Structure 1
Amino acid sequence: MQNWPLQLRLFKKPRFIPLRYRVVLANACMLILLLGVLIITLVWFQNHSIRQQLEQRGKAIAQSLVATSTKALLTYDYITLEQFANQAAQDPNILYVVVHDKENRVAGFSNRPDLQGKKLTDKISHGAVSATSPLVQRFDTESGSQPGLDVALPVFLPDSMSRWGTIRVGLSLTSMYRQIQQTIWIILGIGIVALITGTVISFLGAQRVTRSLGELVWATMDMAKGNFTHTIGIKTGDEVEVLAANFAVMTKEIVAHQERQEEQLKEIQRLQDYTEKLMITMADGLMSVDMKGTVVTINPAARTLLGLSPINGIEGKNIAAILGESSQLVLLVQEIIHQPAPVSHREIEIRKDAEVQTILLGSSILHGAKGNRLEIILNLHDITELKKLEARIRQSERLAGLGTLAAGMAHEIRNPLSAIKTFVQLLPRKIDKPGFLEKFNRTVPRETERINVLVEELLELSRIPRYEYATTDINELLRQSVDAVEEDLQRTNVEYHQDLQDNLPLIQADSNQLIKAFNNLIRNAIQAMPDGGRLTTRIFYEEFADDGKQPITQTNGRIIIIFQDTGQGISPKELQQIFNPFFTTKDSGTGLGLPITHKVITEHGGRIDVESKKGQGTKFTIQLPIDEKISVLTPSSPGLL
């Protein structure tokens, strides 16, 4: 444990300084700073105090000399003044005593009789004899070893402002500096002891803290290497113990989080493997294209459907460069890129070698975290064989329908033909029989007209539509249809109710054809209620929502028309055949009314649905689109299917 700072320094970075050394160095610097401030402060105060004392002492000595030397100055008694100066200078702390007369000449200089009567020209002397008040000046001797203070006191005559001389006392500062130096050494000694003691205490205290921190450092180093099993046992009773406890909790959370991440990574890898295998094995083609048209992913089935090589890299290339600008798939991808909603389902054709394949394409948009569109996911399903099968089924249904039609026509035409044939055969034998010709003329034209009506209805059902579309009010059409059968309603005791929505949008329609379709439905309802009942019609508008079953173009909405009766109802088996030609549950009729109605509605771009239960009535629901132009669905060939 004692070598961990060196190892950590090598592990982390070359200039690592252990915390304990930083603490000791900081404490030592703080103690040195405090010691320096203390020395400077004490020296300044001591220097100031001792100097004030020396100045006061010098002034007292000068004042005393002024009192004793004034008479001698007045009488120019230089000998007495010399004696006073020598006596005063006997104090070892007094360097000199000088007495200047009125003319600033030396009247007495301690231990320097040779200067008597001379004028001193040095800067200190000049300042002293020029002062009119007590003056203290610091000076250094010529050797520089005797610094001192020059205290000058001017001498004035009693009761006069006339200056009569100057008394100067030179005091030595050597004792003061010696005392200050002793004080500095004492403070330094105490400071060094305090510094050593504080450093030792700081080192011990820092070692106590850093030992625990060192254990935490080792734990972090183990965690950096991936070892989260390090156990921390710090019992210091302070913040370090709290830090260690929190570190242990954090370590456990990291371990738990790491385990969860490993489990999630395994799950992600499993899902990735599953997705890759699913993409490889699925029969449908799957590919993703980013919003720039670049292929991101593509599975083998999609490569096969598009006739692409299973080896060459497709990912990362533009789909237009791969399939060509004129490809229906490329055009569809560009359409999805430039419109907000993806195409739900669309049939496209792809030419593969000399064969044209029909592909059912579905798409969805992959969004990012911020809702931005990232990729287009395309699902390609080959429905070529399904289309061929549908064509064969339609052919079979067409042949079956033609068979049904032929059977119905034979049945419907046989009865009037039988009657006509009978009368024609009896004509040679009974032509002279009274009443026979009258009966012949009544029956044969009637049966012939019956065949003619049947042929007209068949032509109406099978011919290519030639409708005249115009802006039409659907409420008015229904009123006209009801007016045409009003007598039949009253005769059969059928109660009629209608619920028409006001301000319906106008539609483009052939009024005559729609009235014909409405009349067929109303007459069927009346015939289904021979003992009376209730017929209800409703018309309302609703917003159009594409459910994938509506065979119409883009519209804003649709008009719903409902015919509901309380008649005998239709069984589920019969309900599947009501729109087939010649199917009828009535004793009379050709069975072509509902097929014609179905044809009229679908040619107007709408649809007709029926709901019925035996004994509970029937409900026909017609949906007509709202659009400026109706797309007329023209049959591929004249006929019923």
Structure 2
Amino acid sequence: MGEALQRRNPADIQRIVERSALEQRRFGLVVYDSQGRPILTWGLATAAGAIGRQELASLSSLPRGVGLTERQGGTPVRSHFVALMGGGELLGGLRVSVSLQNFQEVLDRERNYFLGMLAVVSVVLVLLVSVTIRRTVSFPLHGLMGRIAALGRGEVPEDVTIPGRDEVARLTRAFNLLARNLDEARRRLLQESEYTRSVIQNVTDGIIGLDRTYRIRTWNRAIVERYGIPESEVLGRNLFEVFPPFEREGLREEVDRLLRGEQRTFSLLNFEHETRHRGRAVFNIRGSALRGSTGEVEGAVLAIEDVTERVALEREVQQAEKLAVVGQLAAGIAHQIGTPLNVISGSAEYLMMEWGPDRPRPRELEIIVAQTDRITKLIQQLLNFARPTRMAVQAVKLNDLLREILGLTEHQIAKERITVTTDLQADLPAIAGDENQLEQAFLNIVINAWHAMPAGGALTLRTRTVSAGDFPRRAGRPAPPAVEVIIADTGIGIPAEHLPRIFDPFFSTKGVGRGTGLGLAITRRIVEDHRGTIEVASEVGRGTTFTIRLPVEGVAA
């Protein structure tokens, strides 16, 4: 190039430029002489002007030349100027221009390609990282969450082993230990709970557990047996809704005081009320406050002891003691009064005979004879009541016996304007017993009934067969089948305060001379001698009902 410029041969220079095979649209070339005038232009630099010798000379001090960015026709162009030296002299200059638009397209294309590849690589890396995280973190954590949920449902999840020492592996091992400890604690708690429940269920006394709102939370087997109410019927219900008599008899006040913390315990002895399948029963009820770990009262526990049989035995002992006293009294009366009474009675009868039929007898003699006869009968009743009698056991048809009693009393009952209604079971089985004694027992009740209806009324006699479950059990023996006799009147009734004493010897509410107070006592003894039971229910002004139950096997039981 330098030699071509020295020879100033444009053809040589043109050939050199053409051999460069530069495209006019992308590149430009300007050759300057030593004065800075363009002597050759090509491509982008066709419009380039002179640069002046001074500017060209300044380029000679810059071995690498100088660059310049400009716009030609709206197209960004990058030009580079260099000085051409030869033999130490300034020969000219060279300007090379390159269109930046084409390079920008290439750069954009390369950038887009790079960015696309970068995006693909990034997606692949993200997928790889995601898969790695799911395998090493997400899957184990998901499994751990599932085991936590299972533990919350009360299930016991199996141990899961995750190798490694990272946080997930350590967390999994810690959870495995926690699950095992919780399972062990739960097993111990269940064992203790089952043991406590077993103790409560096997206690012979009834146990009722209450919360602060009187809701039943505990109901053991003994309570089921005593009341015939299964646990499923009472759990969650109010105690006083299940047992209204408890509220009427003052139990609620005692429980209230427990729940308020005013007392720690209480006792109600000989608490008597009706049960579903056993009739009237007697219980001792003891209550205790139920306190939590903080000492606050959380509820109450009631222990219910069935003392029905014990109270019945005590009453039988008391009755036996009374009978013993009556026996001693009867024996004394028989010896101390019997002989003088016979003398008085005999003397009165002799005087009546001596008076003769043609002379009117004094009224006083008739009174003496009648009253001595009455005293004699009373003494005989005392002796019969006190002495054990020998029973003539036979098959007794109670329906026939009751009809016979109504026949004996028919005249007196009609005289008192009393209507009689009978409802006698046709196929009533016969019982084994003493017919004479049973007749006396039922006759005493019928006589008391008509005495209780001085202004007339209604007398009802009813018989039926009762199942074994309806007949009260005696200690250690199953309940036998029985027949039931009900004698009801619409008389004046018996005051509630007198009901507990009506079977006591010599107790009577009748006027002087109308009763000895031994009728019902004798009736009760006869019924009990036949291994039966007698109950009475009465309401003043509405009447009285006696219920007698006798086992079919009678005294052979």
Q: Tell me, yes or no, whether TM beats 0.5.
A: no
Give the structure with the larger strand fraction. 2
Identify which of structures 1 and 2 has the higher relative contact order when contacts are C-alpha pairs closer than 8 Å and 6+ apart: 1
Smaller-chain TM-score range? 0.3 to 0.5
Q: TM-score, normalised by structure 1?
A: 0.38
Q: TM-score, normalised by structure 2?
A: 0.43
